[in-house]
Amino acid sequence: MGLSYVQQGVIVQDEFVKFVTVGTGGQVELFAPYSDDQRIDVQATIKRRFVLPLAIQVKSSMELQRRYSLLKVTFEVSDEAFVSHDLYHYFFAHLNPGWLGAVDPVFFPPSKEVHRHADPKRKANGNRQIEFVASIQPSSHDQWSPYRCSQFELGERVREVIEQAQRRRLSAAEIPPPLFRVPGLLWGGLR
């Protein structure tokens, strides 16, 4: 018997935290919401800056497709949790049990791009099924290659997204209302 999806998710979420914490020398602080009702696994802020946090949903697969060249992750999202915003990103990784963790490359696309290009289809239960398929080959130039990076680059990518949002002065008025209804998610330091 293999890992459950919950176990797999927790392992990859911990890998994300490790990559970002080490990759930024501890300058990005990460927090986990008390619940995952809105599909937010991790919130990221820059240490000692009280700005809007970056929300991240972590997704993974333990198998690669097409002769080990494609990462394919399929998941469902309810209408309430289907939020496209500059402060909401996905982290996609291949969890390789032989290596005891997530392996390179990983992907860190914004939710807007995932929801626009990952072929969301309506299911009978009303949820959207999203299928993220990206090449892990370094020479690939598919639609996801701008968001492909190594574990060592991930922390800086996360920091860049937060700093870009801060420079653009994203305000609470621009945040989709569903993000405000996330149980356990506290917004602080709004300017």
CATH number of the domain to which 102 belongs? 3.40.1350.10
Q: Is residue 100 part of a domain?
A: yes
Lowest pLDDT segment from 38-42, 72-76, 170-174: 170-174
Helix axes 151-167, 5-23, angle to 10 degrees: 70
Q: How confident is the model at residue 186 (pLDDT cuts 50, 70, 90)?
A: very low
Residue 175: pLDDT band (50, 70, 90) is: low
Say which amino acid occupies 34: Y
Is position 88 within any domain?
Answer: yes
185 within some domain: no
Domain count, the chain: 1
What are 155's two structure tokens? 């922390």
Task: Tell me the per-residue pLDDT of 15-55, one tens digit each, with 9 for 90 and over.
Answer: 999 999 999 999 999 998 887 666 789 999 998 877 778 99
Distances (CA, A) of 174 to 104, 143, 168: 34, 26, 11
Within a domain: 16: yes
The predicted pLDDT at position 78 comes to 85
Domain that holds residue 40: 5-180
Q: Is 189 part of a structural domain of the chain?
A: no
In a domain, 136, yes or no: yes
Q: Is residue 187, in this structure, part of any structural domain at all?
A: no
Mind spelling out the 3-state secondary structure of the chain? CCCCHHHHHHHHHHHHHHHHHHHCCCCEEEECCCCCCCCCCEEEEECCCCCCCEEEEEEEECCEECCCCEEEEEEEECCCCCCCCCCEEEEEEEEECCCCEEEEEEECCEHHHHHHHCCCEECCCCCEEEEEEEECCCCCCCCCHHHEECHHHHHHHHHHHHHHHHHCCCCHHHCCHHHHCCCCCCCCCCC
Please report whether residue 186 resides in a domain.
Answer: no
Q: pLDDT band at residue 68, thresholds of 50, 70 and 90?
A: confident
